[in-house]
Amino acid sequence: MNESLALSVNDRSQTGEARRTAALWGHDRGWSEELAGRVALIVTELGNNLALHTQGGTLLLRNLSEGTVRGVEILSLDCGPGVANFNDCLRDGYSTAGTAGTGLGAVKRASQLFATHSQPGIGTALISEVWAGEPDFRAGRLWQAGAVNIAKAGDSVCGDSWAEKHLQPGVVRVMIADGLGHGEFAAQASKRAVEVFREFPALTLTELMERMHDALRPTRGAAVAVAELDLRIQSVSYVGVGNIAASIVTHETSTSLVSMNGTVGGAIRGIKPFTYPWPPSGSLVMMSDGIKSHLNLKRYSGLLDRHPGLITGVLYRDYARGTDDATVLTVRPVS
């Protein structure tokens, strides 16, 4: 399950609630005591930071796994005020609210990955990864991904799903499936698409989409897009059906990838693969229609150079419609 848990924190009274909700969520997913303890510390400190220093924000938790290695990603997102030199905030003893000033430093020390993006007048995004052990499975990988997958408010499951699969050190496939509508039946369709994606890594993208189309016929169907990124030949192959938006973005340009009309598992007017050159310093951004498609990435100074989880988190924070399931996936080369 790649679905994210969203926890709102607008005042300090909600920090404890966020910590308890995260603990229950983790217990249901088999976290070890050591992993749960580190997540509790990070959720507490980031929640307090949101309550004390911002206009309130959201913590997003996502389970990570690779083989038998388990981890958790925690994203902290707020809409202001933002900080020009965020490194000052990480220094123990630095505080603007009369606290001990050790919270963010403690988060960084407890994390195996920690990165930030902050901009005055826009807001701050922080990402922390904690793992049960020291993962070494990323050795040799040349791509990294970040994702947010949030159910529509009031629904217990997300009708969108996403997945990634590293085929070789320089080659990765990623996908988003948006089941028609939302709720349980939408989730059944999108999860079936993910099952096919994982089961048939050797198929071409066209063959894979055809296999998904057959597999989703008993469901209500889904919009699906699959991309294969290959650093060896500096290219992106892409097949999409339905309303999944995808773009290759750089500091200067944005290239929209072409999807065909139709519904996987329903009516398809055609399945057509497209190939695009991969630009230096590029990022691939894919989104379900729960995210507004008219993005303005140029307003975020330096964001495209940061970890893809930060890019994804900022786009979700600023462009989620709030009326549908929402999924954002960002892939970029390891920096």
Per-residue pLDDT at 38? 95
Confidence of residue 269 (pLDDT cuts 50, 70, 90): confident
Tell me: do 286 and 320 sit in the same domain.
yes
**Residues 35, 95: one domain?**
yes
For residues 212 and 159, the answer to whether their CB atoms sit within 8 Å is no
Mean pLDDT of the chain: 92
**51 in a structural domain:** yes
Tokens of 50: 């949101």
pLDDT at 138: 61
Domain count, the chain: 2
Asked which of 104, 131, 158 is the last residue of a domain, the reply is 131
Read off the CATH number of the domain in which 200 is found. Answer: 3.60.40.10
pLDDT digits (tens, 9 = 90+) for 21-46: 999 999 999 999 999 999 999 999 99
For residues 95 and 230, which has the higher predicted lDDT (pLDDT)? 230
Domain boundary among 96, 131, 166: 131
Residue 24 lies inside a defined structural domain of this protein: yes
Whole domain around residue 105: which residue ranges?
Answer: 5-131
Same domain, 153 and 120: no
Same structural domain, 150 and 102: no
Please give the pLDDT value at position 169: 86
Please give the Cα distance from 235 to 258 (Å, whole number).
15
On whether residue 171 sits in a domain, the answer given is: yes
pLDDT tier at 67, thresholds 50, 70, 90: confident
Check pLDDT > 90 for residue 182.
yes
C-beta separation of 224 from 212 below 8 A: yes
Decide if 136 is inside a domain. no
Average pLDDT over residues 191-201: 98
The answer to whether 276 touches 236, Cβ cutoff 8 Å, is yes
Same domain, 116 and 164: no
Examine residue 238 and state whether it is found in any structural domain, yes or no.
yes
* Statement to judge: residues 280 and 315 lie in one domain: yes
One domain, residues 59 and 151? no
Nearest to 115 by CA among 296, 305, 283: 305
Looking up residue 31, the CATH number of its domain turns out to be 3.30.565.10
Compute the C-alpha angle 225/231/141, nearest 5°: 90
pLDDT at 147: 97
Q: Does residue 137 sit within a domain? A: no
Give the pair of three-digit tokens for residue 2. Answer: 């790649």
- Asked if the structure places residue 138 within a domain, the reply is no
SS (H, E, C) 116-176: EEEECCCEEEEEEEEECCCCCCCCCCCEEEEEEEECCCCCCCCCEEEEEEEEECCEEEEEE
Q: Based on the fold, state whether residues 173 and 220 are members of the same structural domain.
A: yes
176 and 245 fall within a common domain? yes
Of 131, 164, 191, which residue constitutes the final position of a domain? 131
Residue 278 shares a structural domain with residue 162: yes
Does some domain include residue 184? yes
* pLDDT at residue 96 is higher than 60: no
Q: Both 147 and 117 in a single domain?
A: no
Q: Are residues 278 and 200 in the same domain?
A: yes
